[in-house]
Structure 1
Amino acid sequence: MAKRDEPRRGSTVARLFRGLVIWTFALLLLAGMGLAAAVLVTARSLPGYERLKSGQAGHMIVVRAADGSEIVTLGPSYGKWVPIARMPRVMQDAMTSVEDRRFRDHWGVDPVGIARSVWVRVEKGHWRQGGSTITQQLARNIFLNNNRTFDRKIREIVLALALETNFSKDQILELYLNKVYFGGGAYGVDSAARKFFGHSGEQLSLAEASIIAGLVKAPSHYSPTADAKAAVDRAQIVIRTMQEAGTITPAQAEAANLKEVKLAQEAGQNSARYFTDWVLPQLDQILPDNDQQIEVWTTLDPQAQRAATEAIVANVPKDAQGALFSVDRDGAVLAMVGGTDYVTSNYNRATNAVRQPGSAWKLFVYLAALEAGYKPDDKVVDEPVTIEGWSPRNSGGKYAGQIDVRTAFAYSKNTVAAQLGNEIGFGAVANMARRFGITTPVATNPSMVLGTSDVRMVDMVRAFAEVSAKGAAVTPYGIRKVTTTEGEVLYSHRPDPVQQLVPDYVAAGITDLLQTAVAIGTGRAAQIGRPVAGKTGTTTSNKDGWFLGFSSGISTGVWMGRDDAHPVPGLQGGTAPARAFAAYMRVATAKRPPEKFQTDLKMPSQQLEPDDETLQNSPDSYFYVDPDGNIANHQPVAPDAGEALPPRPRDDTVPVPDDQGQAANNEFLDRATGAPPATRRNIPRGAAPGRPPPAHPGIGN
């Protein structure tokens, strides 16, 4: 019986296989016929070549400040149309080599390119190169948007095949080179050449052509005016690709000196362009399909912006850069300065740069400690300590012995921060930072408590704004509404639902500490004659200086340092950054009444001891998602060298309130500052070391 069943089973499998093949072929045939019909119908409906040449992508955008004044008017720049016969050959070859090497060999869609893209996806685990041809990109730029949907991709393929049906390869390449976007409002090769090099697109060298071709992948990232190094690195890839494709010889590739390319001087720009460069790309998410002339009403305060620019320029150390980011209590961005000169460098250090925050990171250490049950008056010991082989030190190597938490924070005691982090768990500190909006990878080794993980200023300011909001989440935003030129509202900002990040008593406790740091601690130079809460940050060898704080509902961060991360002599968070903060905040808060901080600890009755689970956080239990979407564990980084007390502020005429939360009695302050008692014999009660007595006792908290 078994032998008689075997042929029957074999014939059944064969029939199923034949049926599968037949049905697969039939479905593919039907799909092919449907695609062919769609291409023919689309090809008949396409505009003529002359009409496609005259059609323009993009639209005029008027950007307005919070008071309705015009910040800038932006619109597409197309330059002169360059026929393919006059387009430099190096420009044609550079573009086809890097964007679509098989441009002359496919019918608008490249199966080989798609297969290569899929193979790289399988091999690398993520997409590293796309399969879109130049014809597909042209179809997308002229007829579609950049939404990454399956439906849009199908329409893109149909349009690409239709374009190849109606037009020659030279016509398609001519359209593409004259319409593709190169950043900075420049559409087409001629516009890009005039913007970046100051001459016509018909006069491009190999080096210049490689820079322009390299922009298509990411115009803002590879712009030579934003990041010259990134532009050169990308251009080198283009030249290498051209050589591999056989469009230039090794000798030509070697002769292309990218470092000798001269960039055109841009017309004068003010610092508000850092803000518009940050806010305008958000329109792609807010109004992805807009094709109308629009007005973008932003949150920027022109008076605050001018004050921010002046504060940075007046206080930044020589050969260093500076940045400032300021938000209102609801997250509305009031001012943004991304560097000392937008024309020289339009790289936005306020939103894009990642730097170590130094002791400003202690915000998260003490937040986690307060949530675990610590209180500002609790006693801690400032003494040498070693944790997992790491021995942090205080500035000057001085230790104060037993002090309270408030004093330890005010004078930025590294050893106390290390002990607190070790006790509550470095994973708890990292998770607190994540909770308050830190988006960059966070290490969980012991030295992380001193700010050795890179951060973005926008994230740090957000965290301080959330403390100012009594522990509620705050999301920075720059667009209030978008309207047509006729006034029709196309978009209006809606506040996020209220989300409490920490209990009220934790927010009150950290505000108490931040206020004391400005009143008598490392942040004294940030005083402005009204209640201020804030924290300084200084990194190893004075490479970075930070001050972040808030007053009267405005939260502001200042960073200073060099782009190459070289040391800046004398730079500390409590010096130039704190002075810039004060200069800006005096103007920004001038029309607002002083606000007393809520620092009363109203702990819930059940909060008797630190939460056991909080105390058991393990560094190995903390993970983050890297920029490629991969789950990764913490990475060890170098320790912070600590932070020194700054000299007193330049403006000694500013009154210093005597009741802004005295950190400790004079005996404690002697030990905290390392000063002998004799130096304080004639200092009245309530006066900070190194400062005159309070001029106006009883002003605010």
Structure 2
Amino acid sequence: MPGYKAEKFKSRGRAEMSNSGGKKTRLVADKRTRPAKKTAAPKRAKPPSRRRPRKPRPPRRGGISGFFLAILRWIWRVIWGIGWRVGFIVAMIIGLATAYVYSTLPEATALLDGRSKGSVTLMDREGDVFAWRGDQFGGAVTADTVSRHLRNAVVATEDKRFYRHFGISPRGVASAIRINLREGRGPLQGHGGSTITQQTAKLLCLGVEYDKDQWKSERDYVQDCRRTTILRKAKEAIFALAMEAKYSKDQILSIYLNRAYFGGGAYGAEAAAERFFGKSATAVDASEGAMLAGVLTAPTRLAPTNDLKRSQDRAATILRLMYDQGYLTSDELRAAQANPATLSEAAQRQAGGYFADWVMDSGPDFFTRDTTEDVILRTTLDQRIQRAAEEAMDFIFENKVRDGSKAQA
């Protein structure tokens, strides 16, 4: 039997080898324990998209309305495309022009006294001032040293947003144009809407110095500087922007207070205070400061030496503005209204005008008409005798001289 089993095994092995194509099969032990298949990690859910869902486009309108809407959209795209490019170019031009003007501006202290000629102060035999000739300048003051009442009155009257704007006030310009058109004038005629900075630029004649070869007289020079055209307004705005970049607000106000004409031949606040009130601009009270500020609108017509009552009425309006803008308390307002500003004795004196003209005509030119300094001349004038002589002459011409006679001529 054992031989039979072995033979049988061999025959089976040969049969398997023949079935496998002659290849010997590899015997391996059965894997009793198979490791569990690794399962894939669950995929994380995608976070919700942060993009807002696009709104469905409204259906295009057809017909005539859709055609016109398409034209309007096209026009808007053209205007916007041209507008921002033009605006960028204009901004670049303004920036470059402002930078150039900025580079040409001197120090603020060099701009305080802008007169090309001096003044002549005439004193009588007693040493009292009785007349002024030329452009009087009493000395430089600053926004810090001048009376606060005068400083506040000027700001309240001329430019109440002075400390808040950047040199030009589009709101003020638009308001001035509207008022001018409503009153039947041209847009640039009458009210200018200029800020204190722009007025200072005009007083500086946009940096152009007086040249005898270019202008026949100083009067022509001043009139040329005060011309109002669109081009000049644009230059004035650029000059104002450069000044705002170069100087502080108080420096600009200081230049204005020293350059402005206050009437009566007085240039600058110090000269005006001495001329009208016989005191420094650092010592004027609220009513006097309001009167000086009120003169700036029309110096020749509103000067207190021409019409004191008119100047006092104008000062009352300025005082009310100062109160409304918080520069005066109710007690200060009542005190100023109860004590309006009056002229000094020297300013009230009317005698000596003819004598002063005679001195200016007969004296040396370098001391009188052509002086570039501030000259004080003491004369032999007796004001009592001079006043009596002038009153007698007025009486004779009013009562003794007939109209059309040679004496009247």
Normalised TM-score (structure 1): 0.38
Task: Please report how far the alpha carbon of residue 13 of structure 1 lies from its aligned counterpart in structure 2 after TM superposition.
Answer: 2.0
Partner of 1:545: none
Aligned partners of 1:104, 1:177: CA distance in 2, in Å?
16
Helix, strand or coil at the partner of 1:232: helix
Task: Please report how far the alpha carbon of residue 257 of structure 1 lies from its aligned counterpart in structure 2 after TM superposition.
Answer: 3.3
Partner of 1:313: 395
Which of 173, 192, 208 in structure 1 is aligned with 2:272? Answer: 192
Partner of 2:353: 270
Aligned partners of 2:76, 2:390: CA distance in 1, in Å?
73
Provide the alpha-carbon RMSD of the alignment: 3.1
Does the aligned pair in 1 maintain the 2:312–2:341 contact within 8 Å? no
Partner of 1:160: 240
Which structure has the larger Rg over C-alpha atoms? 2
For the pair 1:133 / 2:220, whether they are aligned, the reply is no
Partner of 1:592: none
Task: Please report how far the alpha carbon of residue 187 of structure 1 lies from its aligned counterpart in structure 2 after TM superposition.
Answer: 1.2
Q: Aligned pairs, how many?
A: 287
Task: Please report how far the alpha carbon of residue 273 of structure 1 lies from its aligned counterpart in structure 2 after TM superposition.
Answer: 9.0
For the pair 1:252 / 2:332, whether they are aligned, the reply is yes
Partner of 2:382: none
Task: Please report how far the alpha carbon of residue 148 of structure 1 lies from its aligned counterpart in structure 2 after TM superposition.
Answer: 2.1
Q: How does 1:228-243 map to 2 (within 5 A)?
A: 228-243=308-323
The C-alpha deviation readout for 1:543-573, integer Å capped at 9, x for no partner, is: xxxxxxxxxxxxxxxxxxxxxxxxxxxxxxx
For structure 2, the 5+ residue unaligned runs are: 1-60, 121-130, 207-224, 358-368, 372-388
Distance 1:117 1:588, change over 3 A: closer
Partner of 2:306: 226
Partner of 2:70: 11
Aligned partners of 1:115, 1:81: CA distance in 2, in Å?
34
Aligned partners of 2:316, 2:408: CA distance in 1, in Å?
46
Partner of 2:262: 182
Q: Among the aligned pairs, what percent are the same residue?
A: 29
Q: How does 1:492-531 map to 2 (within 5 A)?
A: none
Task: Please report how far the alpha carbon of residue 122 of structure 1 lies from its aligned counterpart in structure 2 after TM superposition.
Answer: 4.1
Aligned partners of 1:49, 1:61: CA distance in 2, in Å?
23
Does the aligned pair in 1 maintain the 2:276–2:305 contact within 8 Å? yes
For the pair 1:49 / 2:108, whether they are aligned, the reply is yes
The C-alpha deviation readout for 1:283-302, integer Å capped at 9, x for no partner, is: xxxxxxxxx969xxxxxxxx
Aligned partners of 1:23, 1:136: CA distance in 2, in Å?
31
Distance 1:29 1:57, change over 3 A: farther
Matched letter for residue 264 of structure 2: G
Partner of 1:341: none
Aligned partners of 2:305, 2:241: CA distance in 1, in Å?
36
Matched letter for residue 185 of structure 1: G
Partner of 1:120: 179
Aligned partners of 1:252, 1:111: CA distance in 2, in Å?
33
Partner of 2:289: 209
Point out the structure with the larger strand share: 1
Which of 204, 209, 215 in structure 2 is aligned with 1:142? Answer: 204
Does the aligned pair in 2 maintain the 1:90–1:206 contact within 8 Å? yes
Distance 1:122 1:73, change over 3 A: closer
Helix, strand or coil at the partner of 1:105: coil
Does the aligned pair in 2 maintain the 1:61–1:293 contact within 8 Å? no
Matched letter for residue 110 of structure 2: R
Which of 88, 97, 121 in structure 1 is aligned with 2:147? Answer: 88
Partner of 2:401: 580
Task: Please report how far the alpha carbon of residue 580 of structure 1 lies from its aligned counterpart in structure 2 after TM superposition.
Answer: 2.7
**More relative contact order, 1 or 2 (CA 8 Å, 6+ apart):** 2
Task: Please report how far the alpha carbon of residue 310 of structure 1 lies from its aligned counterpart in structure 2 after TM superposition.
Answer: 6.4
Does the aligned pair in 2 maintain the 1:312–1:580 contact within 8 Å? no
Partner of 2:117: 59
Distance 1:214 1:22, change over 3 A: same
Matched letter for residue 196 of structure 2: I
Matched letter for residue 270 of structure 1: G
Aligned partners of 1:97, 1:175: CA distance in 2, in Å?
17
Task: Please report how far the alpha carbon of residue 204 of structure 1 lies from its aligned counterpart in structure 2 after TM superposition.
Answer: 0.7
Helix, strand or coil at the partner of 1:102: coil
Helix, strand or coil at the partner of 1:104: coil
Aligned partners of 2:119, 2:157: CA distance in 1, in Å?
31
